[in-house]
C-alpha cells in the first residue's frame, strides 16, 4: 500500500505523486526552476497534495492563490492573491514594470498596461524574490482563475530557467482542461481498491458492514474525498447494517451534499460567519470580522466551524476544501446570501476597492436598483480601461439586469453585448443583443444593434447574414451618424468575402450598394479610399482599384490607430496582402495584434494573430516554434477563443504545417491544381511560398522565372530568390511553367485570411 506521510495526515495511494513532488523541490533547490499542473476530478486529492507540498516548504517564500468562480470576471484577481505578500518588493522593479503591476492591482492610476509588460513585471518580481529565498507558487482550483491571471502564470511558467522558483497548480479535469495547457502535468486518478478500502476503514468509527464497504469503494471510484465525506453523515446502524444507503449520485454532488449536511448541524450564528466567508473570496479576516459585526454576530461563533475542520481564520480565511465554500454558498437561502453580500459591501472600503463593493451590492440587490446598476456601469468603465473587457461585460450584463428603466436596461444590454463580442463570446453577445432589441431603443441604438448583429454573424462565419445586417446598419447610420457608416460598409465588404467564390454574387451586390451610397461625412480620408477601393475591386477589377487602395494603405501605414477602435485596421491588412505590399501588411498586422492585446480584446486577438501567422509563414518562417508572435500571453489567450470567433486555425498556423508537409513531389501538383482551377486564392492557400518569393523578387530585382496564367488585369507574378537559390526548386518551377494558362478573376474575393 503506497502511503505518503503529511504531518498529522497520511495520504493513501499517492506514493508516486509524492516522489514526483519531492524531486520537483530538489531540482529547484539545485537551481532549476520547475512548473507542474496537477489535473484530476473534484475530490481526487489535488488539494491534499498541495497541502503536503506546503508542509515541506520550511524556509521558502510561498505565494498562494485559490481560484474563485465568482471572481473569474475580475481581471488579475488571482494574480493579486499570489502577489499580495510581495507588493513591498515592487520598488525593486524597473519603472515601467513597477507601474504596470501598480496599475493592474489598483495601487496607482494610469493607462491600461500591455499584458506582455504585466507578465514581464511579474516574472521580474518573482525572480527578485527568489534571489533572497526559494519561492513556491501554489494555486488551487486554477480552473476558476480569471483569464488574465491564468495567462500571466502561463507566461511566467514558460520563462522560468535557473531561478529558484516552483509553480504548482491544481486544475479540475473537464472544466479546466485548457488551463495552463502545455506545461508539465501530473494526472491524478482514483485510488487503487486496496488503498481506497484502507482509507475508508481508517476514517470510519465503529463497525462497517462488508457489503456497505464494497458499495462505497465501488461507487466512489477511488475518489478520496468521497471516501472520507460520504460515511460522515450516516448513523452507525446505516454503516453497520447497510440500511438506508443513498442512491448512486455524481461524486461531486454527493460530496457537496455531505458538506451541506455538516454545515447544517452548526449553530445558526456559525453558519452566518461561514456564509460570509464563502461570499468573500479575498480571505481577509478583518473584512470578515467587520461584516460579522454588521450582522451582529460575534466572531467567537466561528469556533464550531474550526473545530469541525471546515474553516480556519488565521492568518487568512480558508476552507478545508473548495467544495465547502460552494456547499456553504449554494445551500444558503437567497435572502441569507443577499444579507451576507450587503454586509460585505458595507465593510468594503469604497475608496480602495470600489469594483468589489459594487459587485457585492449587485449580489445583495433583491430587485432592480438604479443606483446599484449605475455603480456597476462605472466599474465596467474602470475594468475596460484596465484591459478587462470580459470583466466589463460581466459588470454591464449585471447592470442591465438591475436596471428598472426599460430604456436604460436596453442600452446597457447593448453595451454588454458589444463587450462580450470583443471579449470573444459571440454566443453570449447574441443573446444580449436579442434582449436589447426588445427594449425601447432609439433609432441610432437600433442601427448599432443591427451592426453588432452583423459583426457577431461575421465572427460565427455566417457571411450572408452578416452582409445583410451590416448593409442595413450602414444605410441607417448614413443618416444618423455618418462617421460610423464607413467602418460599417467596410465590415460588410469583409463579411461578403468570407465565403470565397461561394459568396461572389453577394459580395458584388454589396460592393455595388457601397458605390451607390453617398460618402459619409466626417469619415477619415483613408477610410473613404479603402471603402471605395474595395468596392471597385469587387466590381470593376484589380487594376481600377489598385491606386485608391495603395493611397489608403500609405495613409494607414503612417496612421496612429485609435485605441478605442480595437477592430483597427479592419480589412486593410488583407488589402495590403492582396497588393503584395509586404511591409504594410506586416506593419498593420503587428500593430493590430498589439492593440488587441493592450485592450484585452480576445475576440479580435485570434484573428489578428492568425493573419500575422500567415505573414510570417509567407516570409519563410516555417517553424512555428520560432515565430515571435507565438510566444507570450497572447498566444495562450487565443488558443481556446479562436474557435468561438470564427478563426478556423485557432492560432495554430496550419499554413506553416501545409507548407512544411508538402513533399517535393506534392508541391508542383498543388500549384498546378491551383492554376487549373483559375483560382488565385486556391494557389496561395495550397502553396504558401507565393508571397515569399514575390517579396524577394521585388526587393532583389532578380527575376528567375515568371508564372503563366496570370492574365486579366492583374500583373504577372514574378518569382525569384534574393539569396541566389530559388526556394521552390527546379521541380516547382517546371510545374508552374508547364501549367496551362488560365485567367484569374480579378473581381474575386480576397484570399481568405482573417
pLDDT at 537: 81
* Of the candidate ranges 210-219, 365-374, 395-404, the one whose mean pLDDT is the lowest: 210-219
Residue 115 binned pLDDT confidence (cut-offs 50, 70, 90) = confident
pLDDT at 114: 82
Q: What is the pLDDT of residues 679-737, one digit of tens each?
A: 333 333 333 334 333 333 333 333 333 333 333 333 333 333 333 333 334 434 444 34
DSSP sequence for 339-372: HHHHHHHHHS-TTT-HHHHHHHHHHH-SS--HHH
CB neighbours of 714 closer than 8 A, spacing ≥ 6? 542, 543, 680, 744, 746
Pull the grid cell for residue 146.
480569471
Residue 740 binned pLDDT confidence (cut-offs 50, 70, 90) = very low
Given a cut of 60, whether residue 97 has pLDDT beyond it is: yes
Mean pLDDT comparison of 99-108, 299-308, 595-604, 693-702, highest-scoring range = 299-308
pLDDT at 293: 95
Given a cut of 70, whether residue 86 has pLDDT beyond it is: yes
Average pLDDT across the chain, whole number: 75
pLDDT at 258: 85
Rounded Cα distance, 482 and 520, in Å: 5
Given a cut of 80, whether residue 14 has pLDDT beyond it is: yes
* Cα angle, residue 175 at apex, residues 174 and 176 outer, rounded to 5°: 95
- Strand ranges (E), 178-313: 185-187, 311-312
Quickly count helices (H) and strands (E) in the chain.
36, 11
Given a cut of 70, whether residue 243 has pLDDT beyond it is: no
pLDDT at 271: 95
pLDDT at 386: 60
What's the DSSP call for residue 88?
G
Distances (CA, A) of 174 to 143, 595, 650: 9, 32, 20
Given a cut of 90, whether residue 166 has pLDDT beyond it is: yes
pLDDT at 500: 56
Given a cut of 90, whether residue 462 has pLDDT beyond it is: no
Q: How many CB atoms lie within 10 A of CB 551?
A: 15
Q: Is 364 within 8 Å of 338 (Cβ atoms)?
A: yes
Mean pLDDT of all residues in 230-251: 49
Rounded Cα distance, 287 and 743, in Å: 73
What distance lies between CA 530 and its chain's CA centroid?
Answer: 32
Q: Is 157 within 8 Å of 167 (Cβ atoms)?
A: yes
Mean pLDDT of all residues in 52-64: 91
Rounded Cα distance, 286 and 273, in Å: 13
Mean pLDDT of all residues in 277-283: 82
Rounded Cα distance, 751 and 690, in Å: 12
Pull the grid cell for residue 369.
436598483
Q: What is the pLDDT of residues 479-538, one digit of tens each?
A: 888 888 878 888 888 887 765 554 567 777 778 877 777 765 554 566 777 788 888 887
Residue 750 binned pLDDT confidence (cut-offs 50, 70, 90) = low
pTM for the full predicted model:
0.61
Closest by CA to 446, choosing from 397, 495, 479, is 479
Percent of the chain with pLDDT over 70: 70
- Helices 389-401 and 406-422: angle between axes, nearest 10 degrees: 160
Q: What is the pLDDT of residues 612-665, one digit of tens each?
A: 777 777 666 655 445 544 443 334 434 444 444 445 443 344 443 443 444 333
pLDDT at 639: 45
Rounded Cα distance, 290 and 457, in Å: 49
Residue 63 binned pLDDT confidence (cut-offs 50, 70, 90) = very high
Q: What is the pLDDT of residues 340-389, one digit of tens each?
A: 999 999 999 888 888 888 889 998 999 999 999 999 998 887 776 665 67
Mean pLDDT of all residues in 175-181: 85
pLDDT at 163: 87
Sign of CA dihedral 210, 215, 221, 226: negative
pLDDT at 560: 62
Q: Is 627 within 8 Å of 614 (Cβ atoms)?
A: no
Better-scored residue on pLDDT, 53 or 703: 53
pLDDT at 296: 94
Closest by CA to 76, choosing from 117, 110, 118, 127, is 118
Question: Which residue has 471516501 as its cell numbers?
Answer: 227
Amino acid at each position: 500500500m503506497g502511503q505518503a506521510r503529511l504531518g498529522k495526515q497520511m495520504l493513501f495511494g499517492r506514493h508516486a505523486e509524492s516522489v514526483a513532488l519531492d524531486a520537483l523541490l530538489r531540482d529547484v533547490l539545485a537551481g532549476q526552476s520547475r512548473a507542474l499542473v496537477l489535473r484530476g476530478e473534484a475530490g481526487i486529492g489535488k488539494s491534499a497534495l498541495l497541502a503536503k507540498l506546503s508542509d515541506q516548504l520550511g524556509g521558502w517564500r510561498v505565494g498562494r492563490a485559490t481560484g474563485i468562480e465568482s471572481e473569474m470576471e475580475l481581471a488579475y484577481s488571482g494574480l493579486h492573491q499570489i502577489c499580495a505578500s510581495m507588493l513591498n518588493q515592487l520598488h525593486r522593479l524597473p519603472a515601467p514594470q513597477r507601474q504596470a503591476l501598480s496599475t493592474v492591482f489598483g495601487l496607482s492610476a494610469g493607462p491600461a498596461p500591455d499584458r506582455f509588460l504585466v507578465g514581464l513585471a511579474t516574472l521580474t518580481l518573482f525572480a527578485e524574490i527568489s534571489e533572497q529565498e526559494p519561492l513556491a507558487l501554489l494555486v488551487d482550483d486554477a480552473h476558476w482563475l480569471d483569464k488574465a491571471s491564468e495567462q500571466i502564470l502561463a507566461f511566467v511558467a514558460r520563462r522560468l530557467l535557473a531561478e529558484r522558483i516552483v509553480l504548482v497548480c491544481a486544475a479540475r479535469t473537464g472544466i479546466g482542461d485548457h488551463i495552463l495547457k502545455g506545461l508539465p502535468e501530473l494526472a491524478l486518478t482514483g485510488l487503487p481498491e486496496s488503498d481506497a478500502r484502507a482509507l475508508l476503514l481508517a476514517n470510519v468509527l465503529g463497525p462497517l458492514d462488508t457489503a456497505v464497504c464494497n458499495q462505497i469503494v465501488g461507487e466512489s471510484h477511488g475518489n478520496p474525498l468521497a471516501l472520507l465525506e460520504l460515511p460522515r453523515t450516516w448513523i452507525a446502524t446505516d454503516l453497520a447494517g447497510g440500511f438506508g444507503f443513498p442512491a448512486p449520485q455524481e461524486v461531486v454532488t454527493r460530496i457537496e451534499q455531505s458538506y451541506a449536511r455538516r454545515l447544517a448541524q452548526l449553530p445558526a450564528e456559525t453558519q452566518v460567519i461561514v456564509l460570509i466567508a464563502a461570499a468573500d473570496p479575498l480571505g481577509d479576516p478583518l473584512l470578515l470580522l467587520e461584516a460579522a459585526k454588521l450582522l451582529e454576530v460575534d466572531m467567537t461563533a466561528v469556533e464550531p466551524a474550526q473545530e469541525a475542520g471546515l474553516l480556519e481564520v488565521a492568518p487568512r480565511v480558508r476552507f478545508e476544501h473548495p467544495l465547502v465554500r460552494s456547499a456553504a454558498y449554494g445551500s444558503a437561502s437567497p435572502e441569507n446570501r443577499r444579507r451576507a453580500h450587503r454586509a460585505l459591501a458595507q465593510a468594503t472600503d469604497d475608496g480602495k476597492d470600489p469594483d468589489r463593493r459594487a459587485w457585492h451590492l449587485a449580489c445583495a440587490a433583491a430587485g432592480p436598483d438604479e443606483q446599484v446598476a449605475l455603480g456597476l456601469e462605472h466599474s465596467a468603465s474602470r475594468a475596460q480601461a484596465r484591459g478587462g473587457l470580459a470583466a466589463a461585460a460581466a459588470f454591464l450584463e449585471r447592470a442591465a439586469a438591475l436596471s428598472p428603466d426599460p430604456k436604460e436596461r436596453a442600452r446597457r444590454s447593448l453595451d454588454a453585448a458589444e463587450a462580450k463580442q470583443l471579449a470573444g463570446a459571440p454566443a453570449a453577445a447574441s443573446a444580449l443583443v436579442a434582449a436589447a432589441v426588445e427594449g425601447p431603443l432609439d433609432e441610432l441604438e437600433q442601427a448599432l444593434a443591427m451592426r453588432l448583429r452583423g459583426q457577431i454573424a461575421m465572427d460565427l462565419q455566417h457571411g450572408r447574414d452578416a452582409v445583410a445586417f451590416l448593409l442595413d446598419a450602414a444605410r441607417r447610420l448614413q443618416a444618423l451618424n455618418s462617421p460610423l457608416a464607413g467602418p460599417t460598409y467596410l465590415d460588410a465588404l469583409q463579411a461578403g468575402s468570407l465565403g470565397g467564390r461561394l459568396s461572389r454574387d453577394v459580395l458584388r451586390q454589396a460592393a455595388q450598394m457601397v458605390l451607390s451610397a453617398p460618402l459619409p461625412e466626417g469619415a477619415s480620408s483613408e477610410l473613404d479610399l479603402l471603402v471605395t477601393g474595395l468596392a471597385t475591386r469587387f466590381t470593376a477589377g484589380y487594376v481600377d482599384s489598385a491606386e485608391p487602395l495603395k493611397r489608403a494603405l500609405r495613409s494607414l501605414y503612417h496612421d496612429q490607430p485609435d485605441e478605442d477602435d480595437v477592430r483597427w485596421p479592419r480589412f486593410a491588412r488583407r488589402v495590403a496582402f492582396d497588393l503584395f505590399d509586404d511591409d504594410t501588411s506586416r506593419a498593420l498586422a503587428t500593430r493590430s495584434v498589439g492593440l488587441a492585446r493592450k485592450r484585452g480584446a480576445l475576440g479580435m486577438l485570434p484573428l489578428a494573430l492568425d493573419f500575422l501567422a500567415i505573414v510570417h509563414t509567407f516570409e519563410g518562417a516555417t517553424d512555428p516554434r520560432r515565430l515571435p508572435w507565438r510566444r507570450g500571453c497572447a498566444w495562450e489567450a487565443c488558443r481556446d477563443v479562436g474557435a468561438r470567433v470564427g478563426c478556423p486555425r485557432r492560432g495554430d498556423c496550419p499554413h506553416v504545417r501545409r507548407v512544411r508537409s508538402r513533399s517535393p513531389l506534392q508541391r508542383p501538383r498543388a500549384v498546378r491544381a491551383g492554376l487549373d482551377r483559375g483560382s488565385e486564392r486556391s494557389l496561395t492557400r495550397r502553396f504558401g511560398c507565393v508571397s515569399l518569393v514575390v517579396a524577394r523578387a521585388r526587393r532583389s530585382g532578380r527575376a528567375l522565372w515568371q508564372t503563366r496564367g496570370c492574365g486579366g488585369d492583374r500583373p504577372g507574378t514574378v518569382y525569384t530568390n534574393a539569396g541566389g537559390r530559388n526556394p521552390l526548386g527546379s521541380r516547382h518551377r517546371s510545374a508552374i511553367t508547364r501549367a496551362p494558362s488560365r485567367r484569374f478573376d480579378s473581381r474575386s474575393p480576397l484570399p481568405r485570411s482573417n
